[in-house]
Structure 1
Amino acid sequence: MKIEIEKVKKKQLDLSEVEPASHFPVLVAMEAAGECTFTAPVSAKVTAVWEYDHVRATGHVESAARLTCSRCLAEYDLPLTSDFTIFYTEGEDEGSEDEVELSDEELISATYTGDEIDMAPEIAEQVMLEVPYKPLCSESCKGLCPECGADLNAGECGCDRGGINLKMAALKKIKIEK
C-alpha cells in the first residue's frame, strides 16, 4: 500500500488492501520462529490526509493467528485488530546510536523520502504488535501438572503437588529464637 504525496496534497486518500501474511517479511520471520501461524490475510484500511507539512495516516488492520498457549500448550485462534495513526514528515531517518527520550508525537511519527510512502512496514508492525509475547488460551488457564504433565484445565490429575520444594528444604531446619 503506497500513499502518493502529490495526490494526498490535493485531497484525502482512502486506501484498502488485503495481502497474505507471506507478503510481509517480518510476519514470515515470526512464523519461521514458531511464534504463530497466520490463518487469515492481512486486511488494511488507511485514510491519508495532508496537514500543514506532514501526512496523517489513520488506519485499521485485521488478521488472525493460531497460537500455542504458554501454560497448557493447547493451540487456539486469536483475531488480531489494531487501530493506528502515524504522522509522516519528509526527511532522512536519523539513525542515531545515542539514547534519547521520545515524545508522544515522535513515537507515532515516521519520515519519508521521495514522492510516495510505502505503508507495508507499518502495517506489518501493527499486526506484529498484536501478537502476544506470552500467549494464553484464557486468563484462567491452569496449565500442565508439573508432576505428570496432565492438562489441569480438563480436571485434576490426582498428583500431590503440595510437596516440599527441594530448593527451599534447608530453610525448614532453621530455628529462630526470640
Structure 2
Amino acid sequence: MAEVMSMEDIRTEAARLNIDLSGVDWNSIRLPPGEDCGIKSDDDDLNEEDSLEFDAGFGNIIIVDNLPVVPREKFEKLEGVVRKIYSQIGVIKENGLWMPVDEDTGKTRGYCFIEYNTPQEAELAKEKTNGYKLDRAHIFAVNMFDEIDRFMKVPDEWAPPESRPYTPGVRI
C-alpha cells in the first residue's frame, strides 16, 4: 500500500527536491483504474452495515406553547424573537418554524412548531427552554411532538385517583 502524506508533507518534500507545485493541476491527477490506495470512494456503493438509518418519527420537532397571541402586523417580530431564542440551541431546518394563525381573527394561536436537524437538538431545546420566561405573562411550555399521543389520551374530565386502603408495611 502507498504511503499516505498530508498536503503539508507534499509541499515540504517538493521544496526539498526543488519542485515547483504552483503549476500542478491537482484536479487532473487520476489513479490507475482499480487502484484506491485503501481509501473508500464516496461514489462506491455503501454496504448494508454502512447505510444510514432514518428515523421515521417526529423526534426532531418541538411544540412551544404559551407564546403571545399577536395580529399579522406583529407576526414577523414574534417569529424573529422565537427564531433568535431557538437557533442558539441548534440548527432550525429551512421552513422549520411554523406558527399557526386563527383564520377568523388573523392572530397567532399562541404556539408554534420548531423542526431541528436532529432529535438531540430538539431534546436540548426542550430542556433549556421549558419554563423560559419571555415576559410576565408568557412562560414557555415546551414538549416533544412525539409526546402528542400521550396528551391526546388525557381525559377531558378530571377524576380523583383511586384510593387504596392502608396496609402497614415493613420498616427498613
**TM category, shorter:** under 0.3
More strand by share: 1
Which one has more relative contact order, counting CA pairs under 8 Å at least 6 apart?
Answer: 2
TM-score for the superposition, normalised by structure 1: 0.18
TM-score for the superposition, normalised by structure 2: 0.18
